[in-house]
C-alpha cells in the first residue's frame, strides 16, 4: 500500500467494493472523487475529469443541478419519510406515478416504486408470477432474458443478467430463468450473414427455446433496448420486430428494461420507441432521478392490475413492498427531474447534439485498435481488437480495456471498460457540442497512448 494516500488506505481497510478485483485492488486503491460540477468531476487531488459515463449511466443532469438539490431539501423539510403501505400515502407518490404513466411507452395503469434497477427487475418477476397465479395458470412462470444482458444483481435480477461474472460462484441463475442468444452482430454474426439474417436466426433460437420448454410455461421475456453493461450492443436490423412476433405468437409478456435507455438517452423518451418495441411493462431507475437519490419503478397495464385485485379478493393483502417504496424525497427529486426534462426539452437537446456524438464515436472506427464503433443518441462504444481484419481479440492478460480506461483517466476522461475490450461512452445528457468535442479529443489522445 506504499504510495497510496491516507484516504485510499482508509478505503482499502474498510470498504468492500462491488465490481472490483478484490485482490489487485489492495495495491492499486480507489480513485477518490470529491466533487462534481456540470459534466465534470474532480478527484481528491483536484484533478478535473469529464464524466464520460454519467457516473454509472445515470447522472443525466450532471453534477450540480440546483433545482434537484432544492427539491430534495424542500421535501426533507416538509416530510422526510412517508410510506405507501396498507392504505397510507403521500402526494409525491401519485405525482410521480402520473408523470411516469404519461410518458410510458405502453398503456400503463399503475406504477410500483422501488429503490433501484435491480429491485425493479426483481419486482417484475414477482409481479409476473403473482399475475399468472391470479390468472389460474401456475405453470406459466419461466422468464427468458439474453446472454450478455444486464438486469441487476439481486438473486432474481442477477439471474436475468446474462454475464458470467454475475453468476460465477454466486450459484446463479436460479431455476425458471433461461437465456437466449445475444444480439451482438459484430461478434456473433456468421461470415456472409447479413444483420437481418442474424436477427432472424436469433428470433428462431428464441422460438426454439420456447418450444423446447413448452410455450405454456413461458411467462415473460426481458430485454434492454440497447444492451448497456454487456457492451453497448445495438439491436441489429429487424431484431425487435422479429422477436416481438415470436413473443406475440406465444402470448409472452414483454418487459423493456429501460434502466439505461430510459429518459431520452437514445433520442426518444424510451429506448422502446427508438427501436419499435411494444413492451407490456418497463423497468426504470438511474436517470429517473438523475441518480441524485436512489429510486426505481415498474409500470403495469390494467389487465395485470385487475388480476391483482382479484388476487386480493381471494388471498387478501398484496404481500410485497419496501420501506423505501415511493420514498418521498426520492419521489420529489424524480418529479423535479422529469419536470426539468420537459421544461428544458431534453429530448430536443439530445437530438441536436447526438449527430456530433455519433460522428465522433464512429470516427474511431478508422483507428488501428478499433474493430467496431457504435453509437445511438448519447450512448456508444468502441470495441478494441488485436487484428481488425480477423476481429481477433486481445489476449485477456493484456487487459486492453483497463489500459485504455486508465489512459483516458490520465487525459481527464472517465470511461468504462466492459467485457475486457469494449470502451463505453454515456455522458450526462446535458453535455454540449463543444464538450463532446473535448471528450473525444481526450479519448483520441488516450488511444494514441495505448498504441
Ligand atoms: N438494468 C439495467 C439495464 C442496468 O444497466 C442496470 C444497472 O446498470 C440495472 C438494471 C440494475 O440497476 P441497479 O444497479 O440500480 O440495481
pLDDT in tens, 210-219: 999 999 999 9
31-64+345-450 CATH, one of 3.30.70.2190, 3.20.20.140, 3.90.226.10, 3.90.1150.10: 3.90.1150.10
CB atoms within 10 A of CB 138: 10
Beta bridge partners of 297: 113, 284
pLDDT in tens, 351-401: 999 999 999 999 999 999 999 999 999 999 999 999 999 999 999 877 999
The preferred substitution site among 60, 145, 152, 256 for testing ligand 1, maximizing ligand atoms within 8 Å of CB, is 152
Domains 31-64+345-450 and 68-343 are alike in CATH topology: no
User: What's this model's pTM, rounded to 2 decimal places?
Assistant: 0.98
Nearest atom in ligand 1 to the alpha carbon of residue 121 is 10
Q: Taking 90 as the threshold, does the pLDDT of residue 2 lie above it?
A: no
pLDDT at 57: 98
pLDDT in tens, 365-375: 999 999 999 99
Please list every protein residue whose CB sits less than 6 Å from any atom of ligand 1.
Answer: 56, 116-118, 121, 150-152, 224, 228-229, 257, 259-260, 285
The preferred substitution site among 286, 287, 295 for testing ligand 1, maximizing ligand atoms within 8 Å of CB, is 286
Instruction: Say yes or no: domain 68-343 is CATH 3.40.640.10.
Output: yes
ipTM: 1.00
Q: Sorting pLDDT into bands at 50, 70 and 90, what band is 430?
A: very high
Supply 360's cell numbers.
Answer: 465522433
| Domain segments of the chain as ranges | 31-64+345-450, 68-343
Between the CA of 276 and the centroid of ligand 1 the distance, in Å, is: 22
Supply 33's cell numbers.
Answer: 472523487
CB atoms within 10 A of CB 252: 22
Whether the Cβ atoms of residue 327 and residue 289 lie closer than 8 Å to each other: no
The preferred substitution site among 151, 256, 322 for testing ligand 1, maximizing ligand atoms within 8 Å of CB, is 151
Nearest atom in ligand 1 to the alpha carbon of residue 257 is 3
Amino acid at each position: 500500500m506504499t504510495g497510496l494516500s491516507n484516504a485510499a488506505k482508509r478505503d482499502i481497510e474498510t470498504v468492500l467494493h462491488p465490481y472490483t478485483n478484490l485482490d489487485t485492488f489492495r495495491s492499486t486503491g480507489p480513485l477518490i472523487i470529491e466533487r462534481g460540477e456540470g459534466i465534470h468531476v474532480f478527484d481528491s487531488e483536484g484533478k478535473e475529469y469529464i464524466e464520460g459515463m454519467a457516473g454509472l449511466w445515470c447522472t443525466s443532469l450532471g453534477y450540480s443541478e440546483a433545482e434537484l438539490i432544492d427539491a430534495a431539501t424542500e421535501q426533507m423539510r416538509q416530510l422526510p419519510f412517508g410510506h405507501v403501505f396498507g392504505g397510507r400515502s403521500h402526494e409525491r407518490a401519485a405525482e410521480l406515478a402520473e408523470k411516469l404513466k404519461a410518458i410510458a411507452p405502453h398503456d400503463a395503469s399503475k406504477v410500483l416504486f422501488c429503490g433501484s434497477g435491480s429491485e425493479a427487475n426483481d419486482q417484475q418477476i414477482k409481479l409476473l408470477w403473482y399475475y399468472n397465479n391470479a390468472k389460474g395458470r401456475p405453470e406459466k412462470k419461466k422468464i427468458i432474458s439474453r446472454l450478455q444482458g444486464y438486469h441487476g444483481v439481486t438473486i432474481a435480477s442477477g439471474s436475468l443478467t446474462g454475464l458470467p461474472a454475475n453468476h460465477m460462484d454466486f450459484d446463479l441463475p436460479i431455476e425458471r430463468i433461461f437465456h437466449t442468444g445475444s444480439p451482438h452482430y459484430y461478434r456473433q454474426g456468421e461470415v456472409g450473414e447479413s444483420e437481418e439474417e442474424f436477427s432472424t436466426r436469433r428470433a428462431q433460437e428464441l422460438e426454439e427455446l420456447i418450444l423446447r420448454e413448452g410455450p405454456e410455461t413461458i411467462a415473460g421475456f426481458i430485454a434492454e433496448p440497447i444492451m448497456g453493461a454487456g457492451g453497448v450492443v445495438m439491436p441489429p436490423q429487424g431484431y425487435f420486430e422479429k422477436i416481438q412476433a415470436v413473443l406475440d405468437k406465444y402470448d409472452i409478456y414483454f418487459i423493456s428494461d429501460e434502466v439505461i435507455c430510459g429518459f431520452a438517452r437514445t433520442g426518444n423518451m424510451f429506448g422502446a420507441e427508438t427501436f419499435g418495441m411494444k413492451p407490456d411493462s418497463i423497468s426504470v431507475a438511474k436517470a429517473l432521478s438523475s441518480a441524485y437519490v436512489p429510486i426505481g419503478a415498474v409500470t403495469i397495464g390494467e389487465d395485470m392490475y385487475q388480476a391483482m385485485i382479484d388476487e386480493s379478493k381471494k388471498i387478501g393483502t398484496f404481500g410485497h413492498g419496501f420501506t423505501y417504496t415511493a420514498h418521498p424525497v426520492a419521489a420529489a427529486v424524480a418529479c423535479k427531474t422529469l419536470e426539468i426534462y420537459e421544461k428544458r426539452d431534453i429530448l430536443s437537446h439530445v437530438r441536436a447534439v447526438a449527430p456530433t456524438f455519433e460522428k465522433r464515436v464512429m470516427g474511431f472506427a478508422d483507428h488501428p485498435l478499433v474493430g467496431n464503433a457504435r453509437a445511438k443518441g448519447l450512448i456508444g462504444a468502441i470495441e478494441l481488437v488485436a487484428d481488425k481484419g480477423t476481429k481477433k481479440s486481445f489476449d485477456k492478460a493484456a487487459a486492453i480495456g483497463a489500459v485504455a480506461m486508465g489512459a483516458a483517466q490520465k487525459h481527464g476522461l472517465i470511461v468504462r471498460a466492459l467485457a475486457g475490450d469494449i470502451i463505453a461512452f454515456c455522458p450526462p445528457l446535458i453535455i454540449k457540442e463543444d464538450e463532446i468535442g473535448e471528450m473525444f479529443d481526450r479519448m483520441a489522445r488516450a488511444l494514441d497512448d495505448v498504441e
